[in-house]
Amino acid sequence: MRLLKVATCNLNQWAMDFDCNLKNIKQSITEAKAVGAMIRLGPELEITGYGCEDHFLELDTVAHSWECLKELLLGDWTDGILCSFGMPVIKDSERYNCQVLCLNRKIIMIRPKMWLANDGNYRELRWFTAWKPKDHLEDFHLPTEVSDALSQTTVPFGYGYVQFLDTSVAAEVCEELFTPQPPHAELALNGVEVFMNASGSHHQLRKLDLRNRAFISATHTRGGVYMYSNHQGCDGGRLYYDGCSCVVVNGDMVAQGSQFSVKDVEMVFAQIDLDAVASLRSSVSSFQEQASCKAKVSKVFVPYKLCQPFNLQMSLSSPVKIRYHSPEEEIALGPACWLWDYLRRSGASGFLLPLSGGADSSSVAAIVGSMCQLVVKEIAKGDEQIKADAIRIGHYADGQFPTDNKEFAKRIFYTVFMGSENSSEATTTRAKVLADEIGSWHLNVSIDGVVSSLISLFQTLTGKRPRYKVDGGSNIENLGLQNIQARVRMVLAFMLASLLPWVHNKPGFYLVLGSSNVDEALRGYLTKYDCSSADINPIGSISKTDLRRFLKWAAVHLGYLSLAEIEAAPPTAELEPIRSNYSQLDEVDMGMTYDELSVYGRLRKIFRCGPLSMFKNLCYKWGTKLTPAEVADKVKYFFKYYSINRHKMTVLTPSYHAESYSPEDNRFDLRQFLYNVRWPYQFRKIDELVNELDGDKIALTKSTEGERVHVTADGGMGVVAAGSGDPRAGF
């Protein structure tokens, strides 16, 4: 037997905070050595933090990384344990994303990333060069201050692996695992038994299974030990890195870390018999045949043993059932952890949320409540860092700390119902009940006086007084009156966030939380600079459909019972007067349903559909219910309002990224914001195709008249007329 104990970890790093990152790295090594691990793997670019972005272009960032690495090597941190550290390295004027493998106070190899992540949220080619040579290792001359300190001048640099006396180990960095020809396939044929994947992978709803399948596939037929380490937390941007560091052996998950946590360091350990890897490989004939004629990969020989012989004091790790959260749990946990990191690192004293009593703002309130529950639970388990952060943020007296999530919420969370003459008693009550269930400090404010003053000022300036449409006004008047209310709420929210702490003799300021969802952003169903404008938005990339499922789940599992009633209420902006014969509804105003918006969003972004290809796809999807002409009307209606409102994405509140069809334009969805909203060429092509299809249907109907075959659709899902144009679509 060759028994090997390995350690991988979730680290909550912070981009450009080298002290924070080094502290977490040291703690992870300390915990790994305490249990006798011989390999410690950390996440990609862990020394700098993954999300440094254009800071990677600064020479200071690289220099500080070497200083931190030198500190690790001059201490006893790498004594008796192979450590893989992620950092940027400059070689021959080119910057590489590297894993630096260290043992016994020496650098034994630097492995540059060969395939860079450069789509979706990732722009690695902006900052790094992909390493191309595969046939040899090169000598890398260490920076003078490092070589002098370590008495080491050069180290091997490039694609290869490390051959120890009793096993062989190689790095495979994040994106490389997901390429068509991943390095581990070739490395396995060269005898590598342990693969170390340092990653910076973000959370997205329903995504984890894709990642886990890749680990399992990498070792199921080839054999091997696959170690995976990931960041966990908000390191300074819109992404939440969702941990789940793990160890997979021969296709079986034997150790798995948490996906969501407010902890800074979480270790994952596994104890493995490497002879199980050798046994599997020797039993697969095709593996043996391919290994016999493999392309050679360069290696670095290290005369050191990592394994122990058979002993009963080391029990082997057994396969475990992979843990997956439901999408509702993911919404409750991911944004909550992201909010906690943002709160404790921003210097703020809490959050302020305009709480309308509707589904979106209530979802945000529930997520803050979930955050408070997570923090109190970890404090009860004895986490001193979380306890210290909570005491500082909540301004507890000496010797006191949070023990009750509602009491903690009262200290850090303001909710404000900003009602008007158009608000219903039902939403007013729902907001108050939910605030009481969560424990927030709740205010009920009327904005009628401010709105009336602005309208009077306008009348003084112009001699005209606008009216709502239900009172005989035009669409322009109706829209303007709604936008006034929305923007007044934004101004009031920021004023309260900055001054309420002062009123209550608290230091600091509160962060304003936004509550527009991904579907509303896609359609532009929000006013530019209204109360959806905020400091951060935890649900800005979550669909309305998922949020409604979350509300049902949270009513039971978070204990906020009023959410069930909130979910059952029809979505409404409550920006127009309520009349016995008229009630404003979101889906009527938008001219499309939220379910339809989700379909449009996925086709536009994930499947890269323009108007014509979206029309063709929807003819298949909706063809049993709609005629081609009706599908065409829907597609054209969507693209018209999407392009009219695209400019709003330029000022969209920074949002937690959770959905692959997010329209957020600053990092993820890179499209222009000035369109020809008539789409003349594309819509003409759709019309031509509709005419062709209608001609085909007429011919088919005539040829089958005797058999009474009806080919046309029933048209039961026709376009809903937009009742008031677009109630929240102003500049």
The domain that holds 402 is classified in CATH as 3.40.50.620
Q: In the listed set 503, 534, 567, which residue is the last one of a domain according to the structure?
A: 567
- Mean of the per-residue pLDDT values for the chain? 91
Are residues 174 and 127 part of one domain? Answer: yes
In the structure, what pLDDT confidence band is assigned to residue 715 with cuts at 50, 70 and 90?
A: very low
Q: Beta 194-199 vs 168-171: how paired, if at all?
A: parallel
Are residues 296 and 390 part of one domain? Answer: no
469 in a structural domain: no
Write out pLDDT tens, residues 601-651.
999 999 999 999 999 999 999 999 999 999 999 999 999 999 998 998 888
Write out pLDDT tens, residues 209-226.
999 999 999 999 899 999
The whole-number average pLDDT for the span 32-47 is 98
pLDDT of res. 395: 93
483 in a structural domain: no
CA distance linking residue 15 with residue 585, whole number of Å? 43
Note whether 434 and 459 are within 8 A (CB).
no
Are residues 145 and 9 part of one domain? Answer: yes
CA distance linking residue 88 with residue 173, whole number of Å? 13
634 is catalytic: no
Could you say which of 20, 44, 574, 648 is catalytic? 44
Note whether 450 and 385 are within 8 A (CB).
no
Could you say which of 9, 52, 83, 174 is catalytic? 174
Are residues 236 and 159 part of one domain? Answer: yes
CATH number, domain with residue 40: 3.60.110.10
Are residues 585 and 557 part of one domain? Answer: no
Give the chain's domain count: 3
Nearest to residue 77, comparing CAs of 36, 115, 27, 120?
27
477 in a structural domain: no
Are residues 512 and 441 part of one domain? Answer: yes
113 is catalytic: yes
CA distance linking residue 10 with residue 268, whole number of Å? 8
Write out pLDDT tens, residues 182-199.
999 999 999 999 999 999
CA distance linking residue 318 with residue 575, whole number of Å? 59
Nearest to residue 434, comparing CAs of 286, 565, 548, 607?
565
Are residues 13 and 157 part of one domain? Answer: yes
374 in a structural domain: yes
Residue-number span of the structural domain to which 156 is assigned: 3-324
CA distance linking residue 367 with residue 369, whole number of Å? 5
Structure tokens at 641: 């309002």
Write out pLDDT tens, residues 52-81.
999 999 999 999 999 999 999 999 999 999
Write out pLDDT tens, residues 13-33.
999 999 999 999 999 999 999
Are residues 412 and 504 part of one domain? Answer: yes
Nearest to residue 41, comparing CAs of 217, 167, 199, 234?
199
Could you say which of 356, 515, 532, 533 is catalytic? 356
Q: Beta 106-112 vs 299-301: how paired, if at all?
A: unpaired
pLDDT of res. 720: 33
Could you say which of 5, 113, 263, 469 is catalytic? 113
560 in a structural domain: yes
Query: Within its chain, how far is the Cα of 107 from the centroid?
Result: 34
Are residues 297 and 349 part of one domain? Answer: no
Note whether 78 and 105 are within 8 A (CB).
yes
Query: Within its chain, how far is the Cα of 681 from the centroid?
Result: 36
714 in a structural domain: no
Are residues 211 and 77 part of one domain? Answer: yes
Site of tokens 């450590």: 83
356 is catalytic: yes
35 in a structural domain: yes
Contact residues for 12 (Cβ-Cβ < 8 A; gap 6+): 24, 231, 232, 233, 235, 261, 263, 264, 265, 341
333 in a structural domain: yes
Are residues 430 and 390 part of one domain? Answer: yes
In the structure, what pLDDT confidence band is assigned to residue 230 with cuts at 50, 70 and 90?
A: very high
Are residues 173 and 48 part of one domain? Answer: yes
Contact residues for 680 (Cβ-Cβ < 8 A; gap 6+): none
Supply the DSSP symbol for 571. Answer: P
CA distance linking residue 340 with residue 346, whole number of Å? 10
